[in-house]
Amino acid sequence: MRVYVLNGPNLGRLGTRQVDVYGAISYADLVGLCEATGRELGLDVTVRQTDAEHELVGWLHDAADEQAAVVLNPAAWSHYSIAVRDACALLRGPLVEVHISNIHAREEFRAHSVISAVATGVICGLGVDGYRLALHHLAARAGAADG
Ligand code: DQA
């Protein structure tokens, strides 16, 4: 099963960015965690990060064309990007939206995600463990679908 783990703006700065909110794990370590989890579960995992909205939209189009599953942390775009939401709505595989922090326990503007209504499910507030849990869910789901 092909899975894209896609990350929006500023997530490349994990490890130095608001460590009290996002933790001390670096982006490189997050990539390693997702790749190792993918290997363990037999998933074909590709991890990417971008600060450019059009690039994320293009990757979502690729995932839609490949009927791939997606784990997406849309970061700040969660809260206002209709372009990212519309690209998510094109997906034909499952979409798990992940937030490292609990967006409901922070500033009011973070509490609403325009992506969530088109996601299969949402994980937030569990730190980077949310990515690992999302991959486990996708593997279990694929196993269930295979019978
Ligand atoms: C985030 C939460 C967003 O509000 C924020 O803009 C981010 C990261 C998270 O992972 O907790 O960049 O998506």
Could you tell which of 34, 73, 81, 104 is best to mutate to test the pocket of ligand 1, judged by most ligand atoms within 8 Å of the CB? Answer: 73
Tokens 């973070």 locate to 110
Tokens 């896609």 locate to 6
What share of the chain has pLDDT > 90, as a percent? 96
Smallest Cα–Cα separation from 128: which of 47, 63, 33, 40?
33
Is pLDDT at 145 greater than 90 in this prediction?
no
Smallest Cα–Cα separation from 98: which of 141, 133, 68, 61?
133
Q: Give the number of C-alpha atoms closer than 13 A to the C-alpha of residue 145, restricted to the C-beta side.
A: 9
**Residue-level pLDDT at 4:** 98
For the stretch 47-88, pLDDT in tens is 999 999 999 999 999 999 999 999 999 999 999 999 999 999
Could you tell which of 5, 34, 50, 78 is best to mutate to test the pocket of ligand 1, judged by most ligand atoms within 8 Å of the CB? Answer: 78
Q: Is 7 among the annotated ligand-binding positions?
A: no
Domains of the chain: 2-146 (3.40.50.9100)
* Atom of ligand 1 lying closest to residue 76 CA: 6
C-beta of 10 in contact with ligand 1 (< 6 A): yes
Task: State the pLDDT confidence band at 143, using cuts at 50, 70 and 90.
Answer: confident
Indicate the residue type of 15.
Answer: G
**Residue-level pLDDT at 16:** 93
Q: What sections of the chain are H helices per DSSP?
A: 19-22, 27-41, 53-65, 82-89, 129-146
Q: What sections of 49-126 are H helices per DSSP?
A: 53-65, 82-89
For the stretch 85-95, pLDDT in tens is 999 999 999 99
- For all residues of the chain together, what is the average pLDDT? 97
C-beta of 85 in contact with ligand 1 (< 6 A): no
Q: Is 137 among the annotated ligand-binding positions?
A: no
| Average pLDDT of span 27-36 | 98
Collapsed DSSP state (helix, strand, coil) of residue 97:
strand
Task: State the pLDDT confidence band at 147, using cuts at 50, 70 and 90.
Answer: low
| Average pLDDT of span 119-127 | 98
